[in-house]
Structure 1
Amino acid sequence: MKRLANFVDGKSSDAGDSAYSELIDPVTSEAFATAPSSDAATVDAAMRAADAAFDRWRTTTPAERQLLLLGLADALQERLPELRAAELQQTGSRAAGNEIGLAGDQLRFFAGAARTLGGLGAGEYVAGHTSYVRREPIGVCAQLAPWNYPMMMAAMKSAPALAAGNTVVLKPAETTPATALLFAEIAAEFLPPGVLNVICGGPETGRLMAAHPVPAAVSLTGSIATGVDVATTAAAGLKRTQLELGGKTPVVVFADADLDEVVQGIVTGALSNAGQDCTAASRVLVAAEVHDELLARLEAAVAAVRPGSPDDEGALYGPLNNAAQLERVSSFLETLPDHARIVTGGARVGTSGYFFAPTVVAGVRGDDRISTEEIFGPVITVQPFTSEAEAVRLANSVVHGLASSVWTTDHATALRLTARLDFGVVWVNTHLIFPTEMPHGGFKQSGHGKDLSVFGLEEYTRIKHVTQRYG
């Protein structure tokens, strides 16, 4: 079995006395490699390498960083087949494999954005003095990435930090480290040693990173519980945090919506990547007068699709990522209240791998567990509303505030809902659209801060006011 190593200070690095855990192919349930669960000494070595590299990297010009990141983006494209093969083995998901191209797009965007940071104009705001604002890198950034889109998330985290002149210690999810390590290996051809470091491990390694005295900032994409843990740990050192903590996305369907488009949008938005997306179209709120018709159409459409391995061209999506996630998704269906019913699906598919049938559940209520907790699986709930006010109330009733979508042919309705929905992303008559130029991040317990766009770049800068007397 292949034994993976961390990548620290520009080279593969032994993990010292760290324990190792098996990586499981979710298509077969069989181990294919081992990876370290990095201990405190290993975390410290990575942080020290990043800290030593920061003084040099911060003094490079945005133009210099741009050229290096553009070179890295081109190199990723050249090695796309190798990256995709590694991604498919650790996720079993064509959706995750197809997202690898976005890593290059994000690198290219942030490479250019670092050269166009805006701010207040310099001027004489006090007589005899010139004042201006500097945007500076903040230092070493500890970054914790999830397992649903491993390679794309590695780039989404590291690209803005690197472009702004910071150095990075990145921890991919413990079940999916392979592509992040390969990313670091490729990056070493362009970036100075210590600028981008990747270490493996689970929650305890992440906690050690957040607690370490070196990082100035900690970024996480993960669950609310993990976010609370990381934020609490980071708070002891008053570190800056950027948290994207999942969602419970409402899909609000009005009676005048084009139901053919709605069904297509829900099936794609809810089932892509086996529903393992924090913005999955999993919670359908539909006008009562078209509830039965939409439910019938959705039942037929969902029953017609199935999961399968990446080489199964007839499958819409792949397996859940790991055995624990399969158990979690199953638990939502096993503990349904009596008033809810499974319309289609609702169970594991096969006995090897972590496949789960596409599922529709009707009759749910707003306070049911399945209506309030993020499932992160191929499960869609359907619930009626009788007025616009009720639709807004139901949509906003959860603790999450990441993403939502509205389906209507009435422009005024769309404008009212986009203003009233308490979510960081609102789509109208579409779902799962993520241009790199636009910010992504949530409200409430979905976290704070932004990924993507110039707002994402600003997360990794600090603002310094300088005033010089000349009179």
Structure 2
Amino acid sequence: MADVKNYLMHINGEWVGDELETKDVTNPATGEVIGTVPNGGESEGAKAVEAAHNAFDSWSNLTAYERSGYLKKLNNLMLEHEDELARMMTLEMGKPMKESRGEVKYAASFLEWFAEEAKRVYGETIPTHAADKRLRVWKKPVGVAAAITPWNFPAAMLTRKMGPALAAGCTFIMKPSGESPLTAVKLMELCEEAGIPKGVVNLVTGSSSKITKAFMGDERVRKITFTGSTEVGKTLIKQSADYVKNVSLELGGHAPLLVLDDADVDIAVKGLMASKFRNAGQTCICANRIYVQDGIYDQFVEKITEAVKGLKVGNPEEDSTDIGPLINQDGLDKVKHHVKDAVEKGAEVHFGGESENNGLYFEPTVLSNANPSMVMMQEETFGPVIPIQKVGSEEEAIKLANDTPFGLAAYVFTENAARGTRVIEQLDYGIVGWNNGAPSAAQAPFGGMKESGLGREGGHEGMDAFVESQYVSMGME
């Protein structure tokens, strides 16, 4: 442990927490401890709330152009430190380096986008119903915002929340996952380098339940923004009731991918590869259930199998690696259970299907003859497994796609514009990729329907979550 760096939290402009017990951060590719963070709790959460509250008035009273300037500086610093951020991300959660570099760019793009959106938070003047009145709507920042983020996108999930919060005039508290907190520490260092005033951005690490208790039990925290499981999201909704907090939730998914018989099979294979194997299948919007119409089913299975055979599993620090490790043993065990269950219920393994001899690796896997009785067709697998089910019609595909409590992302492959439009109109999903396996973009709204969440992040809608409308009726007598 002598060479392991002890990282700290950042509250009110100071690096703190060296007196606390620490939590190890482990490299899932090697099992080695790569750093520690303070195991903070309710007290540290409360201090961060106090700091953010005290900084709110001065930050919110800056002009939009001034707040925009800070975000632009932070965006530039992220791009300048791309390799450093990417390497930290790869070390702490196993994402291949080429994907980590891509995430840094993607994360920075939210800062660039919301730096511009800061200057576009428009109010409005409403036509009056009486000559002696003027009616206006002003936009005000909601207040202190606390963000609770997951391990699988440790940079992008923070900037997608931080960007609009700071742009709107809110102050911000980061609570990253205990699996991958070090990327957040690096981002906090860059916030400090960008000159963001003390207390405007704060970082707390440690017990999620204890720190969240401080957020939920303090009326000064007006905004909770969370990305994670539906189960935790429901708990946060209940906890938010006492103070009627503004809550945004990006929750679990179980994305269907529909390949209709008039699809370009090569485009569909390319789209599925782009969607499924990012971060070894550990993304909320990756395709989990594949429905292929019977006329092209055999051709599709053959081509996707050949494509998957070309993936390289290995050390995520090597640029040639496509598939890195899963995040932890629980994640690996879940994937193994899903595959075992599918095979026992009739799935045919075309490629993969086994965990590697060492560590947390699982082979990229293609299964055909999937059916709704299989656990993986009912639950999100969060691993590099493709289960393919044959369907006889687009109506059957739509029915199966919607047969889930989740509604985050879906994918449709068809070359017929009328058919594509018709199918998408019937899908109950917040995000749809049409002949496209990578739909996310900073300028577009991201979020789900049903039990996949509340609200949207990204695009101009991303600002809505951090502002309040204040209606003013002004007498002119």
Q: What interval of TM-score do these two structures reach, taking the shorter chain for normalisation? A: over 0.9
Matches within 5 A, 1:196-235: 196-213=201-218, 214-235=220-241
Paired residue for 1:327, among 329, 333, 343? 333
Runs of 4+, deviation exceeding 3 Å: 311-314
Cα deviation, residue 408, structure 1: 0.6
> How many residues are paired up?
469
Which amino acid in the other structure matches residue 62 of structure 1? A
User: In the alignment, is residue 287 of structure 1 matched against residue 287 of structure 2?
Assistant: no
Residue number in structure 2 paired with 1:339: 346
CA distance in 1, matches of 2:214, 2:333: 28
SS in 2 for 1:193: coil
The answer as to whether partners of 1:96 and 1:148 remain within 8 angstroms in 2 is no
Cα deviation, residue 367, structure 1: 4.2
Cα deviation, residue 347, structure 1: 2.1
User: In the alignment, is residue 182 of structure 1 matched against residue 186 of structure 2?
Assistant: yes
SS in 2 for 1:130: strand
Cα deviation, residue 16, structure 1: 5.1
Cα deviations by residue, 1:102-143 (Å, 9 ceiling, x for unpaired): 222211110111111234334433331111001100111110
TM-score normalised per structure 2: 0.95
Residue number in structure 2 paired with 1:54: 56
Cα deviations by residue, 1:54-93 (Å, 9 ceiling, x for unpaired): 1111111101101111111112222222222211211221
Paired residue for 1:90, among 78, 92, 101? 92
SS in 2 for 1:283: strand
CA distance in 2, matches of 1:107, 1:314: 29
Cα deviation, residue 420, structure 1: 0.8
Residue number in structure 1 paired with 2:363: 357
User: In the alignment, is residue 239 of structure 1 matched against residue 265 of structure 2?
Assistant: no
Residue number in structure 2 paired with 1:315: 321
The answer as to whether partners of 2:23 and 2:37 remain within 8 angstroms in 1 is yes
Closer, same or farther in 2 for the Cα pair 1:394/1:325, shift >3 Å? same
The answer as to whether partners of 1:341 and 1:363 remain within 8 angstroms in 2 is yes
Closer, same or farther in 2 for the Cα pair 1:110/1:125, shift >3 Å? farther
After alignment, is 284-293 or 73-82 more displaced? 73-82
CA distance in 1, matches of 2:436, 2:34: 38
Which amino acid in the other structure matches residue 179 of structure 2? T
Closer, same or farther in 2 for the Cα pair 1:333/1:206, shift >3 Å? farther
Cα deviation, residue 202, structure 1: 4.3
Question: Where does structure 1 lack aligned partners over 5 or more consecutive residues?
Answer: none
After alignment, is 455-464 or 367-376 more displaced? 367-376
Which amino acid in the other structure matches residue 2 of structure 1? K
Paired residue for 1:12, among 1, 10, 15? 15
The answer as to whether partners of 2:45 and 2:212 remain within 8 angstroms in 1 is no
The answer as to whether partners of 2:326 and 2:361 remain within 8 angstroms in 1 is yes
CA distance in 2, matches of 1:285, 1:173: 33
Question: Where does structure 2 lack aligned partners over 5 or more consecutive residues?
Answer: none
TM-score normalised per structure 1: 0.96
SS in 2 for 1:121: strand
Cα deviations by residue, 1:423-452 (Å, 9 ceiling, x for unpaired): 001111111122211100000010010110
Paired residue for 2:47, among 39, 45, 48? 45
Cα deviation, residue 201, structure 1: 2.4
User: In the alignment, is residue 388 of structure 1 matched against residue 394 of structure 2?
Assistant: yes
Which amino acid in the other structure matches residue 269 of structure 1? S
Closer, same or farther in 2 for the Cα pair 1:311/1:21, shift >3 Å? closer
Cα deviation, residue 150, structure 1: 0.6
Residue number in structure 2 paired with 1:194: 199
Paired residue for 1:432, among 424, 432, 438? 438
Which amino acid in the other structure matches residue 383 of structure 1? Q
CA distance in 1, matches of 2:153, 2:254: 18
Paired residue for 1:173, among 157, 174, 177? 177
User: In the alignment, is residue 78 of structure 1 matched against residue 85 of structure 2?
Assistant: no
Cα deviation, residue 36, structure 1: 2.3
CA distance in 1, matches of 2:206, 2:387: 34
